[in-house]
Chain A
């Protein structure tokens, strides 16, 4: 994995020329909206991947890196737009510089070009999730279970598991359809046998009774047992019979076909059930379009080769995996079309089943017509059979079914007059055939019986085979799901534990009992979260949007931690911290700092308070931030790295700009003192609008500080700790000195604080004021340069136990002996 050391951006997006020194530390990019912060995030992404995330995806048609990556004034000169990023490979310790130009975004220059650095870059390129934007957070939290599973599995690189599970499920579906078809064939064969025996149910006793009657007439041995393998005509010499004719059986076949053609209520109902969703589809062009695209993209998915060019449009992709993921997402996005497709397929399948049953009856008559009927009778039956056959072929696909909508709507199964007449004629013709001898009738009956019994046996073998295939496929699929679910459950248990810990850390004040459950099941991932001990609910049920965003960040961190383990060393959080509500900023900073001490976070925010909070909580250092102060097309952003408001005041005074310096001092104090008041638990008169005067904050902070020092002195005395007593004495002296200096400049302070009379001051007047304030505020900061955090009071209100800084170098015990 890499960590960023420095960044040079030239004529790229909204930035003309910018250098940022990052030194592998966590880093904040802050400034108002529209000041160019996102250009830095784009530049980092571009340097690593050659792409700009925000120029791709929904709503970016017609926008490209080549045309719109350069600064607008350099739009015809993409070679001028480039980004150079200096980075360190955390695995090898090597450092390198990758440079990429918009003119040729697919290639990059790497100096030095070593295998280790290339490997480190390859890893970053494989993990686009290392950049998290605010709009992406919620997809982990509010998605439907199936979609969330996809998002989370994609982030954890588990797409193959999903693809394997889906392929096995689809295989189960395919063999299930085999079974349905085989079952239909068996029922058809069974019906043909029933008609021949003239038995409503084929019980062995009844079948043997009918068969043995014929055998008895022929003097053949009686059959005593019956299986599907039994040869019903065993012992009969049928060598001279070309086509056996059993008149009663033949007439029953014709009657069955006529009956099916006459009573079409079942097939008409099935046709109506298919016409209904087809009509919906026809009436909704967008849905139809979505369905067509779905079919198109699904076809494309099967054609993706390893060379990563799209088989549908020839566009080159970074990798075949990325292309597959893109197509899979497109397929997943047409859910409504998929539901409609499924409804149509089910209805078509039911209709086809009834059609096949009818077809079997019609075909039985065709055999009779071929043997004894007139050519026109054969033709009428064949024509109807062909019609059913073509229709069945059309119903195999949704576009096919849509293509025969008008035909289906026009009662396609009604018997044509020619067919009705032909069947009647055939029945009359066969009925008129002279009765044969009892022996000939028995002989023919036995031959037809054996033939139909044999067809039943073959159909049964096919059904058994299909059933066995289905059972086997089902067991295999279930075995896979069980193994995958167990593995995913174990994985998600770890993730949900960390997710809960992270969220608890941010919301320790009111949700320290928070817990979450991630439950995978057959491609879905349910997420339930605790709501103040009232039960487990979906995150969107009761939690506020702010809390949901917080959950999104925590789940993201837990997932990336799981995905990368110790290799998680770098992440860009683009405007993500704005999702955390203001009451929990410190806790969020602590979460990043304490749980991910080795991770370099690049954080953008438009909230200055957030930037200060990151610094005071030591998530970032004073130099590890860049402030954007405005932007223009001609110059790009005005940026300033590592300067706090004291530096900026000094810069103003160096230019004799007292009004500017005074304005910054006042703004700086307005943002610093509320934080300090909070850290010291200063007492001010509550204001509903939270707009406290500087004067009252100053007084409250100073007074409270004095209280804590007194307590610390009492504690040190009670424990009789010489060092501690001396430390408090020194702090009190420093306090007195700072207050004295501040009092000396009180006139100016008052003017500044109460009357804003900075305009009348000179540089000579104002310099000491600034110094006095610096000395005063330094009373409350740790002197360790690696810390520099505010001192704060710890312990429950009324039971305060220490006044200390983040690193512990400033640490005064407030608890007296025996207290």
Chain B
């Protein structure tokens, strides 16, 4: 990962945790998936978001 990419992902995590509905666990999980060795998987990202949103609806 280039320094710029590192900076972007760090700033993204910071910006994401400011969103209502994104807690630190979700932000960390998003970061892990976005920076996964094999590349980010859209289905897994969607599942993380669904799970978080459903938790807040319940």
Contact = CB atoms under 8 A, between A and B. Distances in A.
Contacts of B46: 170-171, 174-175, 469, 473
Contacts of A643: none
Given A157-B2, A163-B39, A473-B46, A484 B57 contact: no
A304 B57 CA distance: 37
B49 A484 contact: no
Contact of A167 (B7, B45, B57): B45
B9 A164 contact: yes
B54 A465 contact: yes
Contact of A158 (B4, B15, B19, B35): B4
A476 B22 contact: yes
Contacts of A160: 1-2, 5, 35, 39
Nearest to A461: B57
A567 B19 CA distance: 39
Interface string A152-183: 00001110110110111011011100100000
Interface in B4-35: 4-5, 7-9, 11-12, 15-16, 19, 21-22, 30, 33-35
Interface string A404-421: 000000000000000000
Given A171-B46, A472-B21, A483 B12 contact: yes
Contact of A468 (B4, B21, B30, B43): B21
A782 to B, nearest CB: 44
Q: Which of B2, B12, B21 has the most CB of A within 10 A?
A: B12
Interface string A660-692: 000000000000000000000000000000000
A475 interface: yes
B57 A464 contact: yes
Say whether chain A's binding surface is mostly helix, strand, loop, or mixed. Answer: helix
A324 interface: yes
A484 B4 CA distance: 9
Contacts of A178: 50
Contacts of A324: 39
Contact of A476 (B9, B40, B43, B49): B49
Nearest to B40: A167
Contacts of A491: 4
Given A174-B46, A473-B46, A164 B40 contact: yes
A163 B37 CA distance: 12
Nearest to B56: A468
Interface in A464-522: 464-465, 468-469, 471-473, 475-476, 479-480, 482-484, 486-487, 491
Contact of A487 (B7, B16, B49): B7
A171 B45 contact: yes
A652 B40 CA distance: 67
Contact of B49 (A171, A479, A486): A171
Q: Which of B8, B16, B34, B54 has the most CB of A within 10 A?
A: B8
Contacts of B4: 156, 158, 161, 487, 491
B37 to A, nearest CB: 6
B57 A305 contact: no
A473 B5 CA distance: 21
A473 B38 CA distance: 22
Nearest to B30: A476
A476 B39 contact: no
B1 to A, nearest CB: 6
A174 B5 contact: no
Contacts of B33: 167
A115 interface: no
B17 to A, nearest CB: 10
B46 to A, nearest CB: 4
A306 interface: yes
User: What 3 A-B pairs are tightest by C-beta distance, nearest first?
Assistant: A170-B42, A167-B40, A171-B45
6 contacts: A160-B39, A167-B34, A302-B41, A304-B38, A471-B21, A476-B30
Given A171-B46, A476-B19, 6 more contacts: A160-B1, A164-B9, A168-B40, A174-B46, A468-B57, A473-B46
